[in-house]
Structure 1
Amino acid sequence: MVKMWLIGLVLMNIMNTHAEYSALQAVLSQKGLEKVAHWSTDWLQNELSSIELPEVRGGVNIGIGTVHYVLHDMSIQRCDLPEPSVAFSEGTGVSLQVSGLSIAISGHWNTKFGVIHDSGWFEIAVYTVNLNTVLQLGSDEERLSISTIMCSADVGSVQVNFHGGASFIFQPFVDIFSGQIANEIRVQICPAFKKGIDVLERHLAAVPAALKVDPYVFMNISLTDSPLVEDSGLGLNVTGEFYSISSPSEPPFSPDYFDLTWQENFMMSLGASEFCVNSAAYAYHTAGALQIRITEDMIPKASPFHLNTSAFGSLIPQLPKQYPDMPMELQLYTSETPLISFSKTVTSVRLLASVKAFAVKPDSGTVPLFRLDIESSFSAKAYIEKVLVKGALEMKNLTVTLGATEIGQFSITPIERALTLGMKAFVLPKVNAQLSEGIQLPFVKGFGLKNAVMAIEDGFVAVAADISGPDDNTQ
């Protein structure tokens, strides 16, 4: 908790540095809005079912005097809600209409006629309730906000049946006070709906600007500007920058503008720029997460090459002479931030890494031997198959230089040749085999993506997809 509070404090100080352009863009189409409305029907039905109806008091003239009555302890027993009709309202937010809602209410009645008191119960059926509302979508302190700016409701007809006591006296006079009952119900509908929207707004207000991704990095998910509402959809521009949790700082590059095409045939579209991806690489690099210590027990027994000074003798002749038959360890780490660039023709990956070699003494202590600096580049292909992101890497270049040595100078050419061969023969086939299996698209609490397509554009990657929920039979 304390660490996340510190993250928020740091984020407040640095989040405006790169706030000129968003690194993430998200679009909800009319098709997506209709799906959201479908899922929201149960929520809206629950909100309307929770309406608290006040007592209704009045009097009925029965010819020989007035019978005073009180209808009380009324509760909604059933609420049948048709799926709402929703549409984007350009420049404002969302218009929502509910037509043909019906409500069943039960309660108790008490009467007083002179010194005579009576009581019983009743049932009310409310038909053709209509709700018309407009929701304002905006931004408040760089997060999405929602409020009700217009709401109206009307009630078509009311049917009342009295039971118990002298209820036969009141049933003929239902028309006299059914209008009053209908009005009491009507005036409670919009406040109940607004109450639900206020609850939703409080949930949005509680969403932190910093989203912790894993123990190493977090992401700034604040909005860079107000939501863009058009008749065809809702667009959100999100900062989308990653930071190291241990040492949050800005990367030495800035976001560029990109324009995500709105895909109306899909429920949602999502675009991530090069800056978003590379800020994640920078965050992991500065967090020290992009490193691994390689030991002999990690090398397959069937491998022709093993981590010991004797095996390295064919590449570095003086090594086994200075440290005969000693196990070795390698520390592999990124020396600079890996950089990815997107274009319609190719996705390029540039990787600068270093390898430190150590000899392992009998007491498990280590002796530094040398450091190799590696510069490599790859081309990448990525695509989506069903709900899996798949791809392949191809090595374009690999160059090795001797960065430091504790054992004297030696030729790099055999090592560079061996690393190139090892990358092409062993490492890349394993990486590509894993990439061909795919990585599942993210999902939250039973919701996910389906029918997804990916497009690599100049400077960003775009995904268009439909949204699947718990009530969907297909994924």
Structure 2
Amino acid sequence: MQLVIFFLMILTHTYADYPALKAVLSEKGLRDVSQMMAVWMQSKLKSIKIPEFRGEKDIGIGTVDYVFSNMQVGQCSMSGPSIEFVKGTGVSVEISQLSLAIKGRWATKFGIIHDGGSFDLAVYNIKIQTLLELGDDAGRLSITTISCSNDIGGVHIQFYGGASILFQPFVKHFSGEISGIIHMKICPAIQQAISELDMNLQKKPVNIPMDQYIYLSILLTSSPAVTDQSFELDIKGEFYSNSSPSEPPFSASKFDFQYAENYMLSLAASEFLINSAAYAYLSSEVLQINIKDNMIPKSFPIHLNTSQFGALIPQLRTLYPNMEIQVHLYASKTPLFSFSSENIDVYVPAAAKFSVVKPDGMLVPLFRLDVAGSFSGSALIDNKHLTGAFKMKNLTLTLGSSEIGDFKTAGLEQMVVIAVNMFVLPKLNDYLKTGFLLPTLQSFSLINSKLLIKNGFMVIFTDVEDSWIVSMTTKV
């Protein structure tokens, strides 16, 4: 159940025709989930609060009223659970040989005789079978119980305290009654738990904030596809601007990929996902920066002042002698990413507005340069971090507008190329060398991950680890 929620939190939806995200849980993943569930269930069963129940039983010589209270599970053991995909439906879950050792208090009333004490209750060889349907409820993952059955191998009660020895001969009567009560309560309890889980899924937020600027919408585009070997979710991944959400001037393209059977989970994202994030940041007016001379390393040969720029633009020395320059650099259009075999290409259309800074701080516009840059890079997963490196393929400058007359841009273009290669890309690649830690959700983390870049999409093959389960297993 926790893994289902994990999948939901990393999926998305938009109005485009094709999904930009796909997630596939393999048969290996399902087996590993069952092992996680075994540890999780045993821990939960030990902490479960069992409500008291009372009843009466005709034992042939009269009616005994009884109540069992303060019950706690002391020990539990189980085989499984066994979870299997059911094609076109969902999953079947079978728990066998579940045994519980319960301690509690008892009280009885037999005519005028009142008695009480403690008891040990052993419920053994419990078998539960349930079929769960995984579907789509208005874009949200839904889970419902189709069928449920259970069987109890036996119940044994040992009374302590009071005059319990008087009632021990009638334990078989109580055992049958308790066995019946437990049998009737198991499936309704499971159905209630699944219903509550489904309600929680429907209440999950569909807009997930990424930062203060953009959010990710997470609605399914279609019902889950369940085969006898996998569980697949097709999702439409799109980022939106918080301040001005709108659709980008491009749409998602169809893509298919082969999931990896030897990994628990396969996650694939098309170019549309990354490009929608770039468009959302552009719409949020984030992709811009004011560059001042004090931001440039002292070792760099060119600085932002009219004296040095005058060597490239002679009229600057005449119009604004020995004055500081400020540059407003911004993305003029959406930067676009494209994926090809093991390679990431990035096209960055930008503009740079140059202004002179007067002694009173006022800015006087000089000119605007239009920039077209293309870069290529690679990415991989190293020790739970997404890392990468980029290099320049091409960069061109053209004069967009000017308040100081025309001038040639070849020298400026060469200077910018040097600046990008000597300053921008090394800083970027140093940052990417450390990389980004792979995402976690609650106690879940991605391990043994492998990243592949294909034509039009990238895919991560990974296993999933629950740190809480690991710690519990270690304790056991």
2:333 aligned partner, one-letter code: E
- CA distance in 1: counterparts of 2:76 and 2:410, whole angstroms: 77
**Number of the residue aligned with 2:9:** none
The correspondence of residues 112-191 of structure 1 with structure 2, limited to 5 A, is 112-113=110-111, 115-191=112-188
- CA distance in 2: counterparts of 1:180 and 1:314, whole angstroms: 99
**Number of the residue aligned with 1:235:** 232
- CA distance in 1: counterparts of 2:264 and 2:239, whole angstroms: 26
1:76 aligned partner, one-letter code: Q
Aligned match for 1:107, one of 81, 105, 108: 105
2:366 aligned partner, one-letter code: L
Residues 150, 52 of structure 1: alpha-carbon distance in 2 compared, 3 angstrom cutoff: farther
2:325 aligned partner, one-letter code: M
The correspondence of residues 57-456 of structure 1 with structure 2, limited to 5 A, is 57-61=56-60, 65-66=61-62, 68-73=64-69, 75-82=71-78, 83-105=80-102, 106-113=104-111, 115-344=112-341, 346-456=343-453
- CA distance in 2: counterparts of 1:225 and 1:425, whole angstroms: 48
- CA distance in 2: counterparts of 1:346 and 1:271, whole angstroms: 15
User: Is the contact between residue 380 and residue 394 of structure 1 (CA under 8 Å) also seen in structure 2?
Assistant: yes
1:26 and 2:39 equivalent? no
Residues 418, 342 of structure 1: alpha-carbon distance in 2 compared, 3 angstrom cutoff: same
**Number of the residue aligned with 1:460:** 457
Aligned alpha-carbon RMSD (Å): 2.1
Deviation, structure 1 residue 426? 2.7
- CA distance in 2: counterparts of 1:297 and 1:41, whole angstroms: 60
SS at match of 1:325: coil
Deviation, structure 1 residue 42? 5.8
Q: Deviation per CA, 1:83-113, whole angstroms, max 9, x where unpaired?
A: 4221211111111111122223323121223
1:59 aligned partner, one-letter code: D
1:54 aligned partner, one-letter code: F
**Number of the residue aligned with 1:7:** none
Normalising by structure 1, we get a TM-score of: 0.91
**Number of the residue aligned with 1:52:** 51
**Number of the residue aligned with 1:11:** none
- CA distance in 2: counterparts of 1:92 and 1:288, whole angstroms: 45
Deviation, structure 1 residue 53? 4.8
- CA distance in 2: counterparts of 1:79 and 1:336, whole angstroms: 63
SS at match of 2:303: coil
Q: Deviation per CA, 1:409-464, whole angstroms, max 9, x where unpaired?
A: 11111111111222223322222222222222111223211111111111111111
**Number of the residue aligned with 2:15:** 17
List gaps (5 residues or longer) in structure 1: 1-14
1:99 aligned partner, one-letter code: S
Residues 148, 81 of structure 1: alpha-carbon distance in 2 compared, 3 angstrom cutoff: farther
- CA distance in 2: counterparts of 1:275 and 1:16, whole angstroms: 11
Higher mean C-alpha displacement, 435-444 vs 374-383: 435-444
Residues 79, 206 of structure 1: alpha-carbon distance in 2 compared, 3 angstrom cutoff: farther
- CA distance in 2: counterparts of 1:428 and 1:119, whole angstroms: 79
Q: Deviation per CA, 1:26-71, whole angstroms, max 9, x where unpaired?
A: 111222233333444465453693443521311323xxx4352313
- CA distance in 2: counterparts of 1:440 and 1:142, whole angstroms: 29
Higher mean C-alpha displacement, 413-422 vs 169-178: 169-178
User: Is the contact between residue 139 and residue 220 of structure 2 (CA under 8 Å) also seen in structure 1?
Assistant: yes
**Number of the residue aligned with 1:9:** none
Normalising by structure 2, we get a TM-score of: 0.90
Deviation, structure 1 residue 72? 3.1
User: Is the contact between residue 57 and residue 173 of structure 2 (CA under 8 Å) also seen in structure 1?
Assistant: no
User: Is the contact between residue 51 and residue 69 of structure 2 (CA under 8 Å) also seen in structure 1?
Assistant: no
The total of aligned residue pairs comes to: 455
Higher mean C-alpha displacement, 31-40 vs 394-403: 31-40
User: Is the contact between residue 145 and residue 201 of structure 1 (CA under 8 Å) also seen in structure 2?
Assistant: yes
Residues 30, 51 of structure 1: alpha-carbon distance in 2 compared, 3 angstrom cutoff: farther
Deviation, structure 1 residue 153? 1.3
SS at match of 2:251: coil
- CA distance in 2: counterparts of 1:47 and 1:164, whole angstroms: 26
Residue identity (%): 44
**Number of the residue aligned with 1:4:** none
Residues 223, 79 of structure 1: alpha-carbon distance in 2 compared, 3 angstrom cutoff: farther
User: Is the contact between residue 85 and residue 91 of structure 2 (CA under 8 Å) also seen in structure 1?
Assistant: yes
User: Is the contact between residue 51 and residue 192 of structure 1 (CA under 8 Å) also seen in structure 2?
Assistant: no
